[in-house]
A and B are shown apart, each in its own frame.
Chain A
Amino acid sequence: MNDRLLADLADIIRSVARVSADVELGAETRLIEDLSIDSLDLVGIILKIQDDHGVSIDEDDVPTLTTLGSLAAYVENRRGAAAA
């Protein structure tokens, strides 16, 4: 797992969904169950990731991105695909 990417995505989640700094975010953190992120927050997070990381996230894939770790793996994979 790319720790830098994980930290970047955690920052995006904090800023978009206004998650308190007191809440620890890790690869296992579940976006909906642990952070109470709603559907609007999720769209905002996806848009911000696309903007900041230059990747395209297929909306059909969004339901599978349930944890911070799965999100980071997906972004890493898309970056690799784009570079290939």
Chain B
Amino acid sequence: MSVRIVVVGHSAVTCLGSDMDTTWGNLVAGRSGIKRHESLSSESFLRDVAGRVEDVGPGTAGEEPAVAKLESGYLHFALRAARAALEDAGLTNRRAEIDPHRVAVSVGSAFGGQDLLESEMERSRRRKSLSMSPYLIPALIINQAAGQIAQHLGFYGPSIAPANACASGGHAIASAAMFLRAGEADLALAGGSESAFTPAIVNGFATMKALASQKPGDRAFEDPSKASRPFSGDRNGFVMAEGAGMLLLATEAEAKRLGLEIQAELVGWGSNTDGHHLTMPCRERIAHGLKTVLQRAGIAPESIDYYNAHGTSTPVNDRTETEVLHDVFGAHARNLPISSIKGAVGHALGAASAIEAAVCVRALREQILPPTINFQVDAELDLDYIPDQARPTPIEYALSASFGFGGTNNALILKRGDR
């Protein structure tokens, strides 16, 4: 019998709150973390509506002193989330009981330290010098989030950094689960982190028409909190956000040895690739991927009680994802509650699926489903998207999916923890 992988800690840093409790509280209250930001001025940015984390990161009151020299937001978010996940498990002061060589760290990101790269290039132009900060390369490389967590928290097992665009966090969690099941570690910090508010990235997404428009007449023009509206008839793009999400995974044996609460069980995970297009999702391949994950986990589609959607608020993603759900769940699709938290927290790119995994753990624990806010019916989309109001519901299994540019797909199945 294969090793059970359990969740013993979870955390998030989002525009709704710099910790999990605040994020969750605002999420189930139906609040949005999306607004206009003066830091995204029209001189440099094509969009100023975003989900920014304003109280954590380089130069803020919530700066992580251990990585202060590395002025790249994703490192600060990742380290904060990692500490919080350990704290959530009650392990902060129990380090002597853990073999540090048996703790893996797996943290994904789409863009890593691109924010520092662009600020250094700008600085270089101003100085008329070709030299760069000596911290640029160490902060730019995507595995540095795992590296800094390992360095400052003292974990020396395997580390890895999946760079799988908007599915990075989910892939990081799956990779960590594989380390645990393979016997290479007993515990694993696993998640994603992102802070990519640079002119090149914001304007790149805007120019390719991926971002929500900010035109007069749109309901978000006067109220930016309505810009991200997954599965709505008038959705017109995603809203960029930043943050981090982290799970502390353990083998069942390690969780029991340490007497940790089993918050949830990671009963299934998997990934596949569209092999189809630069950016467009492929209905057939995603459906195949989700069916495979369910089959491998030995879980009937009808057993899934909640589907946590990728739900970006782009016309193509939300239509394709709805079609996929019909393909995978058949008649059960119409009874399956579905929500995208991106209406509230925006799209935190490589961190998004890790934040969503943390939210699923909380949903399983609280038996409350977070809503899809800003929802207005789309006549072509016919499922139950949990519009606007959180819903108390008995749930045993949650499935969270994420899809990234480059055709990378990921799915995680979480089961309610032991009671």
Contact = CB atoms under 8 A, between A and B. Distances in A.
Given A18-B65, A18-B68, A44 B131 contact: no
A40 B65 contact: no
Interface string B104-136: 000000000000000000000001010101110
A62 interface: no
Interface in B66-103: 68-69
A44 B127 CA distance: 14
A26 to B, nearest CB: 23
A18 B133 contact: no
Interface in B128-160: 129, 131, 133-135, 138
Interface in B237-291: none
Contacts of A51: 127
A43 B134 contact: yes
Interface in B28-75: 65, 68-69
A36 to B, nearest CB: 13
A41 B134 CA distance: 7
A50 B134 CA distance: 14
A41 B138 CA distance: 12
A25 B131 CA distance: 27
B136 to A, nearest CB: 10
Contact of A47 (B65, B68, B69, B131): B131
Contacts of A16: 69
Interface in A20-44: 39-41, 43-44
Contact of A40 (B68, B129, B134): B134
Nearest to B69: A18
A27 B382 CA distance: 73
B65 A44 contact: no
Given A18-B65, A18-B69, A47-B133, A40 B127 contact: no
Nearest to A39: B134
Contacts of A17: 69
Interface centre among B65, B69, B129, B134 (most CB of A within 10 A): B134
A15 B215 CA distance: 42
Given A18-B65, A18-B68, A18-B69, A40 B138 contact: yes
A16 B65 CA distance: 13
A44 B133 contact: yes
A53 to B, nearest CB: 13
Contacts of B68: 18
Contacts of B135: 40, 44
Nearest to B68: A18
B148 to A, nearest CB: 14
A17 B131 CA distance: 18
Interface centre among A40, A41, A44, A50 (most CB of B within 10 A): A40
A51 B69 CA distance: 18
A42 to B, nearest CB: 8
Interface of A: 16-18, 39-41, 43-44, 47, 50-51
Closest 9 CB pairs of A and B: A43-B134, A40-B134, A44-B134, A18-B68, A47-B131, A18-B69, A51-B127, A40-B135, A44-B133
Given A40-B69, A47-B133, A50-B129, 7 more contacts: A18-B68, A39-B134, A40-B138, A43-B134, A44-B69, A44-B133, A51-B127
